[in-house]
C-alpha cells in the first residue's frame, strides 16, 4: 500500500513540474512592428511589413493574413497556429523580440511592441 501511495505522490508531483523551456506566459496586447537593422549612414531600421503582427489577448495574435495562436515558454515564443505557424522568436525584454532561425539561433530581424491593439 505504501508503494502505491508513493507512486501516486510521485505522479502528482510530475504533473505540476514546470514546462520544458520555462514558465508558460503570455505577451501583453499590442502591435509588434518588425524591422531589419539599419546603419549609422541611413535609417535606424528597415520595416518589414509582412512580419508585423498584433497580440490580441491571452495566446492569440493576428496579422494581415489572419489570426493564430502562440505559446510562450520562458523566453521562447512559438507561433503554433495561423499564418505565422512554425515561426519562433526569442523574447529579449517585455517589448522586444528577435526572430529565430530553424536552428533556434537569433536572426537580425527584431520586433518591437508599440501601442496597444485594444482600442
Strand partners for 111 = 34, 97
In a domain, 44, yes or no: yes
Q: How far is it, in rounded angstroms, from Cα 67 to Cα 54?
A: 9
Q: CA 72, 77, 78 angle in degrees (round to 5)?
A: 105
In a domain, 12, yes or no: no
pTM > 0.85: yes or no: no
In a domain, 10, yes or no: no
Where is pLDDT greater, at 112 or 17?
112
What total of structural domains would you count in the chain? 1
Where is pLDDT greater, at 97 or 8?
97
In a domain, 118, yes or no: no
Q: Which residue range is the domain that position 71 belongs to?
A: 19-113
Residue 116 has pLDDT above 80, yes or no: no
In a domain, 109, yes or no: yes
| Banded model confidence at residue 20, pLDDT cuts 50, 70, 90 | low
Most confident residue range from 19-23, 39-43, 55-59: 55-59
Where is pLDDT greater, at 19 or 92?
92
Where is pLDDT greater, at 4 or 38?
38
In a domain, 2, yes or no: no
In a domain, 38, yes or no: yes
The pLDDT of residue 13 is 42
Amino acid at each position: 500500500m505504501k508503494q502505491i501511495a508513493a507512486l501516486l505522490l510521485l505522479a502528482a508531483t510530475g504533473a505540476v513540474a514546470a514546462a520544458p523551456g520555462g514558465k508558460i506566459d503570455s505577451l501583453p496586447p499590442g502591435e509588434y512592428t518588425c524591422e531589419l537593422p539599419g546603419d549609422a549612414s541611413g535609417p535606424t531600421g528597415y520595416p518589414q511589413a509582412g512580419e508585423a503582427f498584433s497580440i490580441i489577448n491571452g495566446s492569440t495574435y493576428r496579422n494581415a493574413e489572419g489570426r493564430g495562436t502562440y505559446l510562450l515558454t520562458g523566453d521562447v515564443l512559438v507561433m503554433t497556429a495561423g499564418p505565422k505557424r512554425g515561426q519562433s522568436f526569442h523574447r529579449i525584454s517585455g517589448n522586444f523580440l528577435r526572430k529565430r532561425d530553424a536552428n533556434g539561433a537569433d536572426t537580425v530581424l527584431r520586433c518591437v511592441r508599440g501601442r496597444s491593439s485594444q482600442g
